[in-house]
Chain A
Amino acid sequence: MSRTERAIALRRIRRLFQLALEVAKQDLALADRYVEIARRIAMRARIRMPREYKRLICKGCKRLLLPGLTCRVRLQPRREPHVAITCLRCGHVFRMPIKGRKDRERLMAEKEARATRRARGRWLSRRGPKAP
């Protein structure tokens, strides 16, 4: 496999993921098909799936993982802190450890901030709709 072929393979993979993300909302099956082709190309050309795309593929069913649509992303702070990504179609859970104190603290701070915002939202809605 020559260098140009690898370059072409990588370009095709990028293009296919771009297309998959575009059509995912209208036609999920087609998006899965694009992901499948991208994977096959990567395997055939023996190149690594770029990390940003690797995380968009379910390790269980090899279909597209799209936060909010086909997967659930949760931060798990207890014991070994990690990010848990659950595929909503096959139920497979992929866990990504959060390494290092800096990473951990940053993510937990974000989680805290979100919880605070949610709590504030609840508190505001309890007080009824805003006066005009």
Chain B
Amino acid sequence: MTAKKRVRIAALAVASTVGALLAACTSGASSSGVVEINYSARLTGVGDDADAAIVEAFNRKFEGTYHVNRTAIDDETYKTKQITQLTGADAPDVFYSWAGGRAKDIIDAGFAAPLDGYYSQRGWNEELNALGQSLATFDGKKYFVPTMMSSSAVWYQPDIFAKEGIAIPTTIEELEAAAAKLKASGIAPFILSNKEKWEAQFYWTQIVVAQNGPAVYNNLVAGKAKWTDAPFVAAWQKLADWSKAGYYYGSPNSIGYADSTIPWTKGEGAMDVQGNWFPSTLAGSDSAATAKIDYFPFPAASGKQSTMEIYAENTLMINAKSDKQHQDAAAAFVDYYVSVEAQAMLAKGGRLFPSNINVDLTTLELPKVMLKLAGFMNSQTGDTFMHVDLAFTAKIANEFLDATQGVINNTVTPAEAAKRVQDVTDQQ
């Protein structure tokens, strides 16, 4: 091969490498003045299509001005990707942020833009649920926009209750009596699908609040109490007792959330302490089931008043590191997301309830039970609380979830679980 040929080949190689790198670098460039923003969404298995539809509707409405690129991934992978997404190129301009401790992590890291300006400019102050707004406030500033208000309750099958002659429990003692009766009839009292680790916390948190009131739990969240204190150990103890009494369907730690619909539709389990998305999940597997399902608020200990958990979900943050133009575009997207039109789409898709107080729920073709729940949520005054996974930072929450899996399996004692979580808290 001649020298000239060699040089030519080398030059070609270098040129193509450089060209390729350049192409890679500039692949994110937008054209023709449309502001493109990246939206990072989390898939939950409920209403994912609605979320996608909202993006499409926004893109149509604002064609020529804004364009949203949506990326969606399941919950676990979303947690993995958040670090690299936020710190990398093509970072999302608007993203799902959780509430509580996890949101605080992001705020502390400097990725959450304070949104008070947009709140007043776009009227979110008036439109959005008051509780949601207060949850969005950290150190006096609002950092996310709640697009959904959720709650958790005890979902049950009324026909099973009727058949077994069980009345709706109003105290924990009655709840446990009902469970015993169901067990004696061969029906699993609770379907606890804890494979993904997150369901047991609903039970635990509700037990703490039911036995002690929300203030005790919120003290723990604020760091003014220890996990090893009696109220919390007692809650774990109850979970373990129920496990030993055989009140859970099958082996909770190996039943995934998606699986839980199956014993439900077969009538093999009677109750499930779950978020208000549960009927929507059920509808996916058996549309008739939502006509039959009902709920009752988790009963308090006798003499106390029960408090329902209500919290902000589907929370959206705007990336503080994006430039003003992209932040404004993101705000436009969020504004659309909380508009009555989009909120209706979201609610119909199963993500309940809309945070926009102007949405008329009766127009949404929701099952009656959901309307009833919404009414109850609105009527609850006074303090509420958030489940562990939301309220605490990732590290503490994860240790809690792991330890609780052990408690359910009876491989970890309540005292041990408490100590483990307290140790992680102390290490912060």
Q: Are these two chains actual partners, yes or no? A: no
Residues of A within 8 A of B (CB): none
